[in-house]
Copies of this chain bind each other. A is one copy, B any other.
């Protein structure tokens, strides 16, 4: 690497929502786009970047199981988290106006989320699906026509020198995506906070989360209940529990679990030890500062 800036990988085109999340967590970083989640994991593992920022769940569309699978297969550590409100902007060239727009380009999901706006404000515009939101913004900038607009992020507007004709045009305001920051190794102190954090998460100012995956032993009666007892018996709060059936293995599940506390806290260590007694496998993915909501 020729620069001393932190290098952060994300999946997608420059100006993607993932890049916005990366910059929310690491404002000073240099962001680097990769074509797939696999490529992002490989880049962190090979040391060609210092961090990755990837979506892990969306408030409308659920958990990104692909990234949970990659976390299971690889040995990266979760070191940070941010929750980004997905806000869509209608972007065009300087000097364009809403009443000039005849064509709107974007990813089908973004177009769907802005359906109401499009129907009310641009009922005659032609809707053109694109591969991704940032790619649509890039296209508008290259085409150079004031009659054409894209629906994309604020970051895409900056990247491709576009102007915002209408802001926050999505109908559902509760569209959040949770992103995780990954590193090749555990960090000494959690990132993404101004205040200093100790492993003891009793500190009321900041909350530390630990994420883990586990699978129950086969034929363990009441296995899920017993695995949660491990935490309940020690008054450890849970932020997330999700079962995921293993395709092709009826009756077998993987569990995603986020708990309050650091993996080095005494009671968390004890709980994880206890969990190992009753689980077929346990994989701790990392301890990190609970992410801010960015809107």
Contact = CB atoms under 8 A, between A and B. Distances in A.
A59 interface: yes
A224 B221 CA distance: 18
Interface of A: 57-66, 107-108, 111, 127, 129-132, 174, 176, 221-222, 224-225, 228-229, 231-232, 235, 238-243, 245, 247-248
A216 to B, nearest CB: 11
A103 B224 CA distance: 49
Given A108-B129, A108-B131, A224 B238 contact: yes
A290 to B, nearest CB: 10
Contacts of A129: 107-108, 129-131
A57 B62 contact: yes
A52 to B, nearest CB: 19
A115 to B, nearest CB: 8
A47 to B, nearest CB: 26
Contact of A241 (B66, B176, B221, B243): B243
Contacts of A225: 225, 228-229, 231-232
A61 B59 contact: no
Count copies of this chain in the complex. Answer: 2
A232 B232 CA distance: 15
Given A63-B63, A111-B131, 10 more contacts: A58-B62, A59-B245, A62-B64, A108-B130, A127-B131, A129-B130, A225-B229, A240-B245, A241-B242, A242-B242
Nearest to A222: B232
A247 B130 contact: no
Given A64-B61, A108-B129, A111-B131, A224 B235 contact: no
Contacts of A238: 224, 243
Contacts of A239: 243, 245
Nearest to A66: B60
Most buried by B among A221, A228, A248: A228
A247 B85 CA distance: 11
12 contacts: A59-B65, A59-B247, A61-B62, A61-B66, A62-B63, A62-B64, A62-B65, A63-B63, A176-B247, A221-B235, A225-B231, A242-B242
B247 A174 contact: yes
The 10 A-B residue pairs with the shortest CB-CB distance, nearest first, are A62-B62, A225-B232, A62-B63, A174-B247, A222-B232, A242-B242, A129-B129, A129-B131, A241-B243, A225-B228
Contacts of A111: 131
Nearest to A172: B66
Given A131-B129, A221-B235, A243 B243 contact: no
A232 B220 CA distance: 12
